[in-house]
Amino acid sequence: MLLLPEGAKIIGQGITGSEGSTALPTMLDYGTKVMAGVTPRKGGQEILGLPVFNSVGEAKEVVGEIDGTVLYVPPLFVKGAAVEAIEAGVKFILIVTEKVPTKDESYIYALAKKNGISLVGPSSVGMICPSRKIKIGSIGGATPERAFIDGEVAIISKSGGMTSEIGIHLKNHGLGISWAVGIGGDRIIGTDFGDFLLALEDDPKTKASVIFGELGGTYEERVSILKKQGKIKKPVVAYIGGEFTERLPSDVQFGHAGAIIEGDRGKPDIKRQILKDAGVLVADDFDQIASLVKGAL
């Protein structure tokens, strides 16, 4: 299940590291039910009063069934940690770690798909739902309410920073959010715009969505296909960043691993056109997003 229910029980793999231990109190403060940490060889320790176990299996034995796991493990250990979670029967995995090798990403994605698991990331800043008091990952930092107040608009963004930026923009215009998620800007991501939008079709709270795309890949293009097929009925507002990169040589990576134009693939102006043709409301300027959302509500 991608849209976790209120009270969902979460564990944190690698949560004892520096980034994980910074994010953990912000998740707990928000009301997220983080039950335990998992770090190999640190079993028996505690972090913020939570027990730490050597493995996901051990954690489950003590705290019982869990609904999801958030991964803060180092890049080259992500594959092993994700496989461990899948084998232990965890149905929701959100990977915050950046710089995971593409080969490992494709392996994790294939395994998650085979096992019917919801996978968000890698390179996801996290996911937040104000009405369900769920905040998984670093999203919003220690002050999520600065950017995310309860409302009816979902935010799906390849960029972690822009997830908050859109939240603030909407808030400044009197709009709140139902869900916000950083899906990550890597080549291979577990949940793309389309997957999330499809899940939101059945979410009664969400009335419209804003997506932040950028150069590279075909995840934005898939939204236009799903929209044309009628599978996405709720209004979608899109902003696509990186048009200026078309002035520069191709085959250059801009920020995120997947933000790269290869041949003719991945150009922002083409993405915008394809989305427009499919009936997505495309914001030419970032600051137009809120008015497009209001027009669609």
Residue whose pair of structure tokens reads 């934005």 in the numeric block: 220
The phi and psi torsions of 203 (rounded to 5 degrees) equal -95, 110
- Examine residue 75 and tell whether it contacts other proteins (CB under 8 A): yes
Residues within window 119-138 making contact with other proteins, judged by CB under 8 A: 125-126, 138
Nearer residue to other proteins within complex by CB, 151 or 266: 266
- Smallest distance, other proteins to C-beta of residue 204, A: 28
162 binds other proteins (CB under 8 A): yes
Picking from 272, 275, 249, 244, the residue whose alpha carbon sits closest to that of residue 262 is: 249
Q: Is 160 in the site for other proteins (CB under 8 A)?
A: yes
**Residue 140 touches other proteins, criterion: CB under 8 A:** yes
Shortest Å distance, C-beta 186 to other proteins: 8
Q: Which candidate, 2, 4, 13, 17, places its Cα nearest to that of 85? A: 13
Among candidate residues 32, 61, 62, 69, the one with its CA nearest the CA of residue 48: 32
Does 77 bind other proteins (CB under 8 A)? Our answer is no
Q: Which residues of 155-186 are buried (b: 16+ CB within 10 A; e: fewer)?
A: bbbbbbebbbbbbebbbeeebebbbbbbbbbb
173 part of the interface to other proteins, by CB under 8 A: no
CB of 120 to other proteins, least distance (A): 13
To the nearest 10°, report the CA torsion of 55, 60, 65, 70.
-30
Quote the least distance from Cβ 252 to other proteins, whole Å: 5
**Site membership for other proteins, residue 270 (CB under 8 A):** no
Q: Is 187 one of the binding residues for other proteins (CB under 8 A)?
A: yes
By CB under 8 A, tell whether 118 contacts other proteins: no
Tokens of 128: 């937040």
226-245 positions binding other proteins, by CB under 8 A? 239, 241-245
Nearer CB in complex with other proteins: 46/262: 262
CB 190 → other proteins: shortest distance, Å?
Answer: 8
Rounded CA-CA distance 10/230 in Å is: 34
Q: Of residues 44, 64, 114, 229, which one binds other proteins by CB under 8 A?
A: 114
In the list 172, 231, 279, 291, the residue contacting other proteins (rule: CB under 8 A) is 172
DSSP single-letter state for residue 14: T
As a whole number of angstroms, the distance between CA 176 and CA 45 comes to 39
